[in-house]
Each structure stands twice: as structure tokens, then as C-alpha cells.
Amino acid sequence: MKNLFLLVFVTAILISCNDKQSDKNTEITINVKDLKTGILILKKIKDTTFVNLDTIKIDGNSKFKIDLDLAEPEMLYLTLNRGTTNSMDNTLPFFAAPGKINIETDLDSFFFSAKIVGSKNHDLYMEYQKIGRKFNEENLSLTNLKFLSMKTKNQVKFDSIQSIQDNIIRRKYLYAVNFIVNNKDYEVAPYVALTEIPNVSLQYMDTIQKSLPAKIANSLYGKKLQSLVAQRKLIEK
């Protein structure tokens, strides 16, 4: 009788463990080459504030796995605490999605060396960022020239540079709008609208919001986009 009770007890524990495992629909495997010691924190943004989802202390093994329950594709942030080493390259944003995701990076270039596999939304976001960075680089180089024209009080050159920058911004916004419309079946579409062009003309923003299929319109970022459009309509009446 005693053995029977023990068997039932152990079985109940195993069933309980399996139930807990089944609650986790997302598996993130991470390898940070050359990382021997440090702390990695997985975060998300909730109501404009970072919320910790998991914390891993690294002590000799740079390979590890995180299991979590993800309701839908969402931007997450993997932050590296290097201890005594200061670096600006400490946060890795990635568009996670239910399923299996693999992250490979290294200690020296935590963000820039990262290779992430398993999320179509992340692949699309990287595609967008590749072109977006070119617009930002063009604008930055012109900002330096504009500063020099201010120092030399060359108003003609200043106005010329400003005109070029305005054109870059228009091109960037147009690229973003085209990207969103072309990828409207993915959650990355409303995310890009919210984070990259929140100040684009209300007409464009309204068109973007109305172009989203129901599934994306009702997603986390789709609802936030609906809220933004509604607020702007009230303000800009």
C-alpha cells in the first residue's frame, strides 16, 4: 500500500511537470561565443516599461536555453551585463515568435554579430533595417556638413543641405510605407509603423491601418496602431 501511494505521488509530480512544460510554446537557444561570466536578461516592453522575463547567470557555459510562453510574435530584448566591462553593445532586440528560435553571437560584438534564425518577422525586420540604416547614415553625414555651414555662416549651403535632408526623410517614410503594405500579413508591419514613422501624415497612417488583415489588426502592435491613429484623428481634427 505504501509503495502504491508513492507511485501515485511520483506519477502526479511527473504529470504536473509535463503540464508545466506544455505551457511553454517558445524555445530560445542562445550561444554567446567567448562569454565565460556575466548575466543575461530577457526583457519585453509593457506599458512603455521594460519587464524582465528571465535572468540567466553565465558561469563557464555560454550555451543555454530559455523556455517561455509567447502569445504572439513580439519584440524582445536580450541584455548582457558584462560586469566590469563597459560597452554600448549590450542589448540585442529580436522579433520573437512561438516556436524554436536560435541566437548565435559573440562577446566582442554582442549586437552586430548576432545571427537569429526561426522568426519570419525578425527576418523581415532585418531586411527593413538594412535599408533604413542607409537613410540614417546619409542624414548623419549631412548633419555634420550642416553644422559646419552654421559655423561659417553659409546660409545658402545650410538651406541646400536642409533641402536634401528633407528629401531623405520623405524617401525614408515612403520606403517604410511600402514595406509595411507589402508585408501587411506579418506583425512586423504595424511594429514598423509605430516605431519608425509614428509622425507620418495621418492620411498615410490611416491607409496603413486599414490595409492590415484582421489577424494583424488585432495583434499586439495592430491594436497599438489603431489606438495611435484614433488619438491622432482627435488631435488633428
CATH number for the domain spanning 86: value is 2.60.40.1120
**What confidence tier does 213 reach under pLDDT thresholds 50, 70, 90?**
very high
Domain presence at residue 16: no
Task: Supply the pLDDT for residue 7.
Answer: 43
Closest CA to 38 of 78, 84, 76, 77: 84
DSSP structure string for 37-77: EEEEEEEEEETTEEEEEEEEEEES--EEEEEE--SS-EEEE
Q: What is the pLDDT of residue 141?
A: 86
Same domain, 128 and 231: yes
Residue 54 has a pLDDT of 94
Q: What is the mean pLDDT of residues 122-151?
A: 90
Burial (0-12, 13-18, 19+ Cβ within 10 Å), 27: middle
Averaged pLDDT for residues 129-148: 88
Q: 84 falls in which pLDDT band (50, 70, 90)? A: low
Mean pLDDT of 67-92: 84
Domain that holds residue 49: 25-115
Would you state the pLDDT for residue 13? 43
Residue 1 is assigned to a structural domain of this protein: no
Name the domain count of the chain: 2
What's the mean per-residue pLDDT of the chain? 86
Q: What is the mean pLDDT of residues 17-42?
A: 81
The verdict on 104 and 126 lying in the same domain is no
Q: Residue 101: inside a domain, yes or no?
A: yes
Burial-class residue 85 by CB neighbours within 10 Å (0-12, 13-18, 19+). exposed
pLDDT at 11: 43
**pLDDT recorded at residue 158:** 87
Q: Which amino acid is at 17?
A: C
Q: What beta strand segments (E) does the chain contain?
A: 26-33, 37-46, 49-59, 63-68, 74-81, 91-96, 99-106, 115-117
Residue 86 pLDDT class (50, 70, 90 cuts): low
Decide if 6 is inside a domain.
no
**Residues 174 and 155 reside in one and the same domain:** yes
Last residue of a domain, one of 72, 88, 115: 115
DSSP codes of every residue in 179-191: HHHHTTTSTHHHH
In a shared domain, residues 133 and 214: yes
Name the domain boundary from 115, 133, 152.
115
Mean per-residue pLDDT for 41-49? 92
pLDDT at 157: 87
Give dist(CA 205, CA 23) in Å, integer. 37
Q: Do 162 and 102 belong together in one domain?
A: no
Q: Mean of the pLDDT values across residues 145-160?
A: 87
Q: What percent of the chain has pLDDT over 70?
A: 88
For the cut 60, the answer to whether the pLDDT of residue 8 exceeds it is no
Q: Which of 77, 96, 115 is the last residue of a domain?
A: 115
pLDDT at 185 over 70: yes
